[in-house]
Structure 1
């Protein structure tokens, strides 16, 4: 199948399965300007499928870098009110959000980490109300990725830029099932398969999960009335959508105050235009009390220091070591892809939907249920070929969930 045909299928997948646009619905697409060809197809597809209006918010990494290098320091403590107001207005009217994640992993490697930390915090505060919609599935949202030259070259540094972009396109088409004859049907089957494992975990209602590998020794308690989720989510009107494309994960939330032990990363984390690699966290009563990293330690410490909630975990996700993305043997330096190649955790906010009735809980009651709240939510990868996970039920039964990095059932 030729590239243009696959590109059209990918755009259609993002619109019909990702955000699953509905008649008379507004869509906001957030994207780098390098992804314009794909965006134009997505806009066309959205209108053809009944969208009332499609807005595109363009960004440019070179402009962003210039801002970090030359703008006065005080601008990094600010975030445009008109941007956050627009997001909230679209969410309130039932609109949808499609984000194209294709950042250069090394874009801000020479920028003062304090500037990055300040702006991440300022944007987190400004966008907190909007994120309350996405974290509780009160609006439809989806993230996809499109190759850019800088990102592709980071993954494949030993070939030409164009060859790297072409190779990354091939991998994206494969990982998102675009290379199937009918990608939409393939995604329906995939969501069904993920749900079968989700149903098993929900049936067992585990009290604790014990993680053990050569570098990780961690015990995670799960809150009462927690639920596992995967694949497709459901908005308040009952319409399915897929927040992440691709996705291989099944996830829930940990109890904010009941995580203890040491966990070690298994893949690099790209955060704020910097790479954090080979890092470990020590947690006591849920809180990170110690951290270290072979690369990007200052960036990691700034991330953890974002606010009180960023010292705690907000997500527990299970992904087999042998999975379509992992089997490519590629480190993508892109959390959307790397998190779906590996078991992972997240610093910061939990998805309140992972507690029965959690979507309607006021924030003031989160702590009572063990739900973490934060300005940030950042996934980091911990899965490895030697990772074992054992679940313990409330009646004391132990069940092997993962053995040597893969599902044990």
Structure 2
């Protein structure tokens, strides 16, 4: 009974705070079939809050695995245009998108990495127009996660499946504030706290940030007229939404050509159904010039080789080490959670909302402003308990932003 009640509160949170559905708005929900009980509650709350129509796009990991193992090579060189056309049409009409992320981190570990890389490129290109709506906040979108057996057993391998799922539910309810008396009010307060940090960074207008830990040593410059954003964004009608539930980050874009140094991962990265772990990346003039990985080297190589833009960064995000997610002590093997437990960077496209008048910058002028463009956008975690971050202003003043992994102000 308690689980069902929390599940209902979680669905309401996804609808009211995540995509913040409005009267007569269309909602597209993308979800694994294992998460059907949660999706049904989302549909109920969406209609209760005035949605005009709710469309469901189901997926099944086992079918995806069968395709990767048994389908002909031609299957990975095309993407159904009716899918991308549908997404764009819904975005054009002001619809919202909710994605339920519950991937088995090891799903594709025995699949030819080339097949995965090929399909990532094809799908990335096919969905580029739709993704542009999200990168510029022209549509409302949100991501939430639901425990599945495969994911829960990866996180808690020493437990029985049922116990692992229940323990993961407990962690999710804590991290999303669903375990509070009034989750929606808790999120209003949380978004206000994030805004305070966002306003501080924007008021200081830093020229560059220096990241320093036991391993990481990176200097990252920011474009002129950059804008720091927090978890809550606004669509073209000024309606707030939270793209990630949970979220603990304040984020911006690095200057495409002004990142130098080396960073080390502090949490595993799940990409393309494979785990990349204990890796480092070296930058010179913004470009990745070297990398290593104890696990998942080929997967990391394929990610970086997606296109020209995947050799550069598109996001820098600040997350305190003492965030609720980090304090669970859990490695979630799910980027939505792990990125909100740690400062992180993203390989690939920048959010154009992170620079003044970003949505009006033409594609052939992006380099001029230091804005990266790519078919991909993949976050990886670099924050640690010993991470210090120094901001340098345009008048050469240095201000401590992070001290020993946490906000210094």
Q: What TM-score do you get using the length of structure 2 for normalisation? A: 0.99
Counting only pairs closer than 5 Å after superposition, residues 173-184 of structure 1 correspond to structure 2 as 173-184=173-184
What corresponds to 2:251 in structure 1?
251
Residue-pair matches, total:
409
**In the alignment, which residue of structure 2 is the partner of 1:36?**
36
Cα distance in 1 for residues equivalent to 2:377 and 2:108 = 20
What's 1:375 paired with?
A: 375
Whether 2:21 is the aligned partner of 1:21: answer yes
The alpha-carbon deviation at position 137 of structure 1 amounts to 0.4
Q: CA deviation at 1:362?
A: 2.2
Whole-angstrom CA distance in 1 between matches of 2:364 and 2:142: 28
Instruction: Single out whichever of 352-361 and 324-333 deviates more from structure 2.
Output: 352-361
**Is residue 219 of structure 1 aligned with residue 219 of structure 2?**
yes
TM-score by length of 1: 0.99
Aligned to 1:285: 285
Residue 370 of structure 1 deviates from its aligned partner by 0.3
| Structural mapping, 1:321-360, within 5 Å | 321-360=321-360
SS in 2 for 1:190: helix
Q: Which runs of 5+ in 1 are unaligned?
A: none
Deviation at 1:365? 1.9
CA distance in 2, matches of 1:364, 1:168: 45
1:156 maps to what in 2?
A: 156
Q: Report the 3-state secondary structure (helix = DSSP H, G, I; strand = E; otherwise coil) of the residue aligned with 1:379.
A: strand
What whole-Å deviation, never above 9, does each CA across 1:47-73 have from its counterpart, x for those lacking one? 111111100000000000000000001
Within 2, Cα distance between the matches of 1:328 and 1:210?
Answer: 28
Kindly provide the CA deviation profile for residues 109-154 of structure 1, in whole angstroms up to 9, marking residues without a partner as x.
0000000000000000000000000010000000000000000000
Output aligned runs, 1:201-212, within 5 Å.
Answer: 201-212=201-212
Q: 2:63 is matched with which residue?
A: 63
Task: For residues 366-390 of structure 1, give each alpha carbon's deviation from its aligned partner in whole angstroms, at most 9, with x where no partner exists.
Answer: 1111000000000000001111110
RMSD of aligned Cα (Å): 0.7
Give the Cα–Cα distance (whole angstroms) in 2 for the partners of residues 170 and 36 of structure 1: 19
- Superposed displacement of residue 361, structure 1: 2.1
Gaps of 5+ in 2: none
For 1:77 and 1:165, the matched residues in 2 are separated by: 36
**Partner secondary structure for residue 206 of structure 1:** coil
Which residues in structure 2 correspond to 1:91-102 (within 5 Å)?
A: 91-102=91-102
CA distance in 1, matches of 2:211, 2:190: 26
Counterpart Cα distance in 2 of 1:186 and 1:388: 29
1:86 match: 86
CA distance in 2 between partners of 1:116 and 1:11 (Å): 32
CA drift at 1:359: 2.2
Q: Partner of 1:163: helix, strand, or coil? A: helix
